[in-house]
Structure 1
Amino acid sequence: MSKRSQSPLPVPRDRGLESLEPQPTRAAAHIVLVHGRQGSGRATWTHADYHIFWPDWLVDDIKNAGVFTLSYDSTIKYYQSTTSTVTIDNYSDNLLADLSDMREKTGSCDLPIFFIAHNLGGLVCANALVRTLQKTEPDTKNVAEMTRGILFLGTPHEGSDLAKWADLFAIFLGIEKGSGAQKNIKFLMTDSTKLRELSENLAALLRRRNESGDPMQKINVVCFWEERSMKILKAK
């Protein structure tokens, strides 16, 4: 494997890949949970009333799997306080860099990867897989090659009307036109060209992998979606 460069963007200490303990001595697979808009690597997966962090059950029930959460800043507060050009592409590149770095350092590049992704996190994962087609680094491409399953939870593959409301909030919050925050909001629009291209490219990638005839290339996909309304500023 080639030596990895640093992540494409600086990652604060409360951002990036977190390993849930205890980790198995020799894992047989990696499970990575990626939160959505307004979420975090802990709060998204924690029951608000009972304060139960359910990924701990994965550690208990699937003892031969290494379980990780990925955190990135997708909060309204972050959007309000920055004029950064950070976009979903940067989030996806950081996911690839963090995961490939961990796997190379632990000598686990041969392990299958399963993603559990909520909301925007599903688009971050999908975009990461598609972007590996444009990359040449072996360890980055390894993440896509070893992905065996994705569980999408409420991921807006066809866009979200909520993003139109978010666009109004962007104006209210004074988010700079052309900033990364505004681009991320536009990305989630139901009429987003980039989102449509991502859906088409992901479908083509899955079709190619699943029709290759090699069972080890197949990526299993399961989608769940919400049927109850949610408050726009409380989405996790």
Structure 2
Amino acid sequence: MTEQNRGVEEILLSTAYPFWDRLTAEERAELLGSAAMAAYKKGEYVHRSDMGCTGAVLVLSGLLRVYIVSEEGREVTLFRIHQGEPCVLAASCLLEAVQFDLFIEAAEDARAIVIPAGVLRPIMESNPYVGLYMYRQATERFSDVMWMMQQILFMGADRRVAIFLWEETAGKGQKALRMTHDEIARNIGSAREVVSKVLKYLAEEGVVSLGRGRVELTDPEKLRKFLP
């Protein structure tokens, strides 16, 4: 790795991880020396239980999806990780409170900086600021998990689809969502058939128009009526 690339990595890591200024010179050097750039194609696994413990992942571009799988094979998306956000749950083996299998995949082509778990472990154990940050990040992510569980348990499919469409279109200043019905279903923890029925109803009401792998928002004000 060139000195220029190493300098860029240090800027990215120091910006993303607030514990950076609390590291010793040796710890910084160790993290920088082990950090590696990674590229993931859409649908490729970033982390799963049989891959071992990945480490801390900082998303540079693209989008990652964190989900669990039921015994029946149903996927439930817990949350997503956007550009500029770190993911500590890919290092779940270092967090004793996380005792269930998590899957992390690229929801779209993505690039990231990965700090291996084997390098993080001794630094977490010797530097309390690093360990505190890891657990705090995990706790904050689990608030996202609780929000998703509330939606699944207490909201109808129409509202869950509406919330997702709003967040991914109007909430981002966009009018179109390039996703299949199956991808939407996996993101909201529902069945494809249910999502298809809701989208068909919304299309009939003039809220959206449907195309192959595409949902376009045609009337944001009507969609608002379906939001909680």
More contact order relative to length (CA 8 Å, sep ≥ 6): 1
Q: Write 1 or 2 for the structure with the bigger share of helix.
A: 2
- TM-score by length of structure 1 reads 0.28
Larger radius of gyration between Structure 1 and Structure 2:
2
- TM-score by length of structure 2 reads 0.28
